A = this chain, B = another copy of it.
Amino acid sequence: MPTGERLHASTPAANSSTTGYEDEAWVWAQIKAEARRDAESEPALASYLYSTILSHSSLERSLSFHLGNKLCSSTLLSTLLYDLFLNAFTSDPSLRSAAVADLRAARERDPACVSYAHCLLNYKGFLACQAHRVAHLLWQQSRRPLALALHSRIADVFAVDIHPAARIGKGILFDHATGVVVGETAVIGNNVSILHHVTLGGTGKVGGDRHPKIGDGVLIGAGATILGNIKIGEGAKIGAGSVVLIDVPPRTTAVGNPARLVGGKEKPSKLEDVPGESMDHTSFISEWSDYII
């Protein structure tokens, strides 16, 4: 994986046989090293870096501290939230491995992401997603009022509104993230990249399964609106600003309002890479323009 190599000489391959724990330890060591370097070069930020990262003995403690202090309010105290997050991250290793996969996703796919610590501290999409995972765990444990209170705090603080019942895979990049809305019965696969202002919404006032299902490796461009219990196939790409109301087959591109498949409904062009990883939003421009005009 050339990008990985470019970024750091000795990264263990994310999909190698190393255990999740080793991977977590390696990423945490990187984060500490990055924070230490930043603290040394910028004393004005050192206090922040020590309180959020360098004073902690593990990624889950750092993350629990940071989320607790970001999401607290005068009626939901930071100590309560810290406790809640720490219990969740400590007891459920899959939350930790998902966080690590998300950190890797940001680092590898977003050229503006300069370090793992940068993502951990500053990416509202990353933070909202980790907090959502804890809200989802609470939801599964039938602690729904607490899950919904947490949901509300995430929506207020990050302007990211993911229903606690929504199921989200690993290796997710919510880039910029402001305005993302994900409904109750939505499902998002692994290695998906979702830009800001994206809606995975329902329709109607009747309950039940009513939100989109997003396959592995999908890329959803900024401002796309996907409505109803439809399926976006694996490796598909949804253009920025599209309004999608129908299924999109795997490895195809849908664009426009309403969205149509690039290459036509009958024989759409097939993508060769994984758009959720390549983050190529615009290579279909010529095709699209041709198609439209």
Q: Which residues, 40 to 94 on A, are CB-close (under 8 Å) to B?
A: 41-52, 54-55, 65-66, 68-70, 72-80, 82-84
Given contacts A122-B149, A158-B156, A199-B196, contact A3 B205 (CB under 8 A): yes
Contact of A148 with B3 at beta-carbon distance under 8 Å, contacts A205-B110, A285-B245, A289-B258 already known: no
Which B residues lie within 8 Å of A159 (CB)? 159, 178-179
Interface size class of A (residues with CB under 8 A): 35 or more
**Interface-side segment among A10-18, A21-29, A95-103, A111-119:** A111-119
Neighbouring B residues of A143 by C-beta, 8 Å: 42
Contact among B3, B42, B285 for A145, CB-based, below 8 A: B42
User: Counting CB contacts under 8 A, is A187 at the interface?
Assistant: no
**CA–CA, A265 to B196, complex, Å?**
30
In chain A, residues 242-267, which have Cβ atoms closer than 8 Å to a Cβ of chain B? Answer: 242-243, 245-246, 255-258, 260, 265
User: Could you tell me if A246 and B285 are in contact, using CB atoms closer than 8 angstroms?
Assistant: yes
Q: Do A281 and B201 contact each other (CB < 8 Å), given the known contacts A77-B75, A122-B148, A152-B122?
A: yes
Q: Judge whether A163 and B112 touch: CB under 8 Å.
A: yes
Name the residue of chain B whose CB is nearest to the CB of A145: B38
Asked if A227 lies at the interface with its beta carbon under 8 angstroms from chain B, I say yes
Q: Which A residues contact B (CB, under 8 angstroms)?
A: 3, 38-39, 41-52, 54-55, 65-66, 68-70, 72-80, 82-84, 108-112, 114, 118, 121-124, 143-146, 148-149, 151-152, 155-159, 161, 163, 176, 178-179, 181, 183-184, 195-197, 199, 201-208, 210, 221-223, 225, 227-228, 239-243, 245-246, 255-258, 260, 265, 277-283, 285, 288-289, 292-293
